[in-house]
Amino acid sequence: MNITEARQLVNEVSDVIHGLPEEDRAISEDRYIAEHIGMELFESVLASSKRWTINGTNLLMEHPAGVTLDIDVVGSMLVAVQLDEHHLVISVDGKPICVAGEGLFRDVPMSDHLSTVVLLGEAGFPVSHTPDTLYMLHSSTDLLAIVANEYFSLPERTSAAKMLACYVHEEEGEGFISTRAYDIAAKGNLPPQVELELVNSELYTMFVPSHEEGGGAMVDAFVNLILRLTRHRPDTFANALHRFIDLHVRTMSRADQERVRDRLLMLSETFRPDLEPLFETADGVYLTTWDFDHYQNLHEELIHIPPHLRTEHLGVPADAYENVHDVEDIMDF
C-alpha cells in the first residue's frame, strides 16, 4: 500500500469524525485529541503495509487460513467517539466478530487499536497475540500441536488453548478435535494455566460428573480438579480460576455448594492455606444463592398468602387498607 492511499483513507475518516457535533461525543476532549494523534500513527503503519488493502473506508486482508478479514475503519472510529466503545467493527468472511482493544479500563484511543490490528496482520497474527474470537485464523491441528509441545512459551500455549476451546465449542464437546484436546489435557502434563482453558469448556463434563446428579462423587471430582489446577501454588490465583469456580458452583444444588465450600475451608485451614481466596469465592456464591432463595421464597409467600395471614412477615400498618381501592398496583413487587 502506498502513502497516498493511506493518507486518503485517514483524511476521509478524519473528516467524518470532525463533522460530528460536539454534543454527540461520548469521550473527553483529551481522548478526542488522542484519537486524531493516533490517526497519524495509523497512517504511517498503513503506508508500510504489504498485506492489507483498502476498499472504500474498509481494510481487507486475505489470510493464509483461507478467510478474509474486513475492518470498518469509519465504523470503529464512530462507535469509539460516539459511544466510547472499545470494540472494533470487524468481520471474517462477512460474519461480525467481537474483538475488543486492550484498553477497556485505560482509555486507549481506537486509532491505536486499529494500528495494532494492522501490525498483527502484518506479522501473520502470532498465536500469543491473537484474540481467541479470531481462532479461525489458526488451524485446530496447529493449535493442538502448540498446546501439547512444551517448547512453546506459556503465553503461546495458553492462547492456543483458548482458541482450541472455541473449536471444541463448535463441536459441542463431541468430535475429533474435542477428543484430541481431552486426551492432551487428561494426561496431566500441561501447565495448569493451559489446562484450565481446556477444562473450562465443553470438555468440563469429561472431568466432573453431571451437576444435576450431584452428590459426594461430583463434589470430590470438582475439588480434586481444583487441587489439580492449583498444583503449582501461585502467589495469587488468576481471575480465570475464580471465574471458573464461580461459574460452576452456581450451577450446583444448595447442598453441593455447601459441600464444596466446606471442603475448601477444611483444606485452607489445614495443609493448603493458599486456597483461602478460592474458598471465599465459593462461600460468596453459596451465601448469594442463599440470600436469593430466601427472599424468593419470602416473595412467593407474600404473593400467595392472603393479606390477613401476612402479619407474621411484615405486620399490618395502621392504614394498610385505607385506600386499597385507589391503588391499582398494590400487588406489584
Check residue 87 and give its pLDDT: 87
Taking the C-alpha atoms of residue 209 and residue 280, their distance in angstroms, rounded to an integer, is 23
pLDDT category, 166, cuts 50, 70, 90? Answer: very high
Rounded to the nearest 10 degrees, how much is the dihedral formed by the CA atoms of 146, 147, 152, 154? 140
pLDDT category, 156, cuts 50, 70, 90? Answer: very high
User: How would you classify the pairing of strands 95-100 and 87-92?
Assistant: antiparallel
Q: Which helix (H) or strand (E) holds 59?
A: strand 58-62
Check residue 106 and give its pLDDT: 59
Q: Is 71 within 8 Å of 59 (Cβ atoms)?
A: yes
Distances (CA, A) of 131 to 87, 137, 159: 12, 10, 8
- CA atoms within 13 Å, Cβ hemisphere of 88: 30
Check residue 293 and give its pLDDT: 54
Question: Exposed, middle or buried by CB within 10 Å (0-12, 13-18, 19+), for 170?
Answer: middle
pLDDT of 322 over the 80 cut? no
Q: pTM, whole model, 2 decimals?
A: 0.79
pLDDT category, 237, cuts 50, 70, 90? Answer: confident
Check residue 276 and give its pLDDT: 93
pLDDT digits (tens, 9 = 90+) for 50-62: 999 999 999 999 9
Taking the C-alpha atoms of residue 330 and residue 66, their distance in angstroms, rounded to an integer, is 62
Check residue 122 and give its pLDDT: 93
Comparing 114 with 313, which gets the higher pLDDT?
A: 114
Q: DSSP alpha helices (H): ranges in 270-317?
A: 276-304
Check residue 101 and give its pLDDT: 65
